[in-house]
């Protein structure tokens, strides 16, 4: 059976993003807004779908005074004074669910997958003054520099509740294969994994729009991390499997509305790129592991650029993710060093 040719380039129909508090109409009844993030990836995209008597928002940004003020401006301006009646959250990360509880306190209904709600609800209730023993042990096993480990052990860690509004008890569950009506359109829900468990994406039925969250991003790679909560997880396998599962449904003419960066077309190419990016990283990592290394020693082949302290945590959990993938595939071995760090090496 012949397969359609994959296009040669990703295309961006909208050259510039909306200004804070403003919106760009993507299609009739669908507005694109953007909220700031205090990190290198300095924004998150929000999509507002007009349901007639109110709006459905897809994702919400972090809970900060600045984002609340920007949303108030948007509600009074491009959202035309109509209320947000529903908040649909693609996945549990703070930049996507941060203001969901704030909107709920103003009368909105929260819709998301069960895993997203359980993770977010659990994490908002888990507030720590110092890193717990399991986290410290995870960092030690990953080979974190001892001086950095000692410093972080004495500092208050980031707590989910620092950037996520309290989530009231109760939500409406979204499931794989379910249809949802938003903005005068019917959408099919397809879930992915790897970046976040049971991440929801929305594919317009009888149309060309896809709301991708962080599962379908252009030009940047979603972080695939392993944490102390599930130290033997294999998000790389889950990510590649999800990309492959999306491929039969992807069309070059789809306009993807992503969680970050610009809306784009060329989804078949982008899915192939996302698979190949990690396969290439794994191949470079295998070459690197001809000499035993800790996870903290594996940044260079994975990221091909210097990693600063601000990016160190995300880089470390992604390094562990790729090493776990190789271990569970039977390609590498690991041995505990005297200082408690795992040393990883290729099988001979």
- Sheet strands side by side (includes 255-258): 179-182, 185-192, 199-204, 209-213, 255-258
Rg (C-alpha) for the chain, rounded Å, is 21
- Give the helix/strand (H/E) hosting 282: helix 267-288
pTM: 0.95
Q: What is the pLDDT of residue 81?
A: 81
Decide: residue 162, CB within 10 A, 0-12 exposed, 13-18 middle, 19+ buried: middle
Decide if pLDDT at 253 tops 60: yes
Is there a contact between 285 and 277 (Cβ–Cβ < 8 Å)? Answer: no
Architecture of domain 24-127+158-289: 4-Layer Sandwich (3.60)
Domain spans in the chain, listed from the N-terminal domain onward: 24-127+158-289
pLDDT digits (tens, 9 = 90+) for 21-31: 999 999 999 99
pLDDT digits (tens, 9 = 90+) for 102-135: 999 999 999 999 999 999 999 999 999 999 999 9
Decide if pLDDT at 173 tops 50: yes
């Amino acid at each position: 059976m012949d397969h359609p040719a994959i296009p040669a380039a990703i295309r961006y129909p909208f050259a510039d993003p909306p200004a804070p508090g403003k919106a760009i109409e993507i299609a009739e009844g669908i507005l694109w807004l953007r909220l700031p993030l205090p990190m290198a990836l300095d924004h998150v995209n929000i999509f507002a779908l007009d349901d007639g008597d109110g709006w459905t928002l897809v994702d919400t940004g972090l809970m900060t005074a600045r984002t609340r003020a920007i949303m108030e401006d948007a509600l009074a301006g491009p959202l035309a004074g109509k209320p947000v009646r529903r908040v649909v959250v693609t996945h549990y990360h703070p930049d996507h669910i941060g203001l969901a509880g704030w909107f709920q306190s103003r009368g909105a209904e929260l819709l998301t997958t069960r895993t997203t709600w359980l993770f977010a609800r659990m994490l908002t209730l888990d507030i720590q003054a110092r890193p717990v023993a399991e986290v410290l042990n995870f960092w030690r096993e990953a080979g974190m520099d001892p001086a950095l480990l000692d410093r972080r052990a004495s500092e208050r860690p980031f707590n989910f509740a620092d950037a996520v509004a309290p989530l009231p008890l109760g939500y409406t569950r979204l499931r794989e294969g379910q249809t949802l009506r938003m903005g005068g359109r019917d959408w099919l829900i397809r879930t992915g994994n790897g970046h976040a468990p049971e991440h929801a994406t929305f594919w317009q039925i009888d149309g060309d729009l896809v709301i991708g969250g962080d599962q379908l991003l252009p030009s940047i790679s979603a972080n695939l991390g392993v944490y102390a909560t599930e130290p033997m997880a294999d998000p790389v396998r889950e990510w590649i499997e999800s990309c492959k599962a999306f491929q039969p449904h992807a069309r070059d003419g789809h306009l993807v509305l992503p969680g970050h960066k610009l809306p784009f077309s060329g989804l078949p190419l982008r899915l192939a790129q996302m698979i190949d990016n990690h396969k290439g990283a794994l191949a470079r990592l295998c070459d690197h592991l001809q000499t035993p290394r800790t996870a903290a020693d594996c940044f260079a082949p994975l990221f091909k650029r210097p990693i600063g302290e601000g990016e160190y945590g995300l880089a470390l959990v992604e390094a562990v993710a790729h090493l776990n993938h190789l271990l569970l595939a039977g390609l590498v071995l690991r041995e505990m060093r005297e200082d408690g760090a795992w040393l990883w090496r290729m099988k001979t």
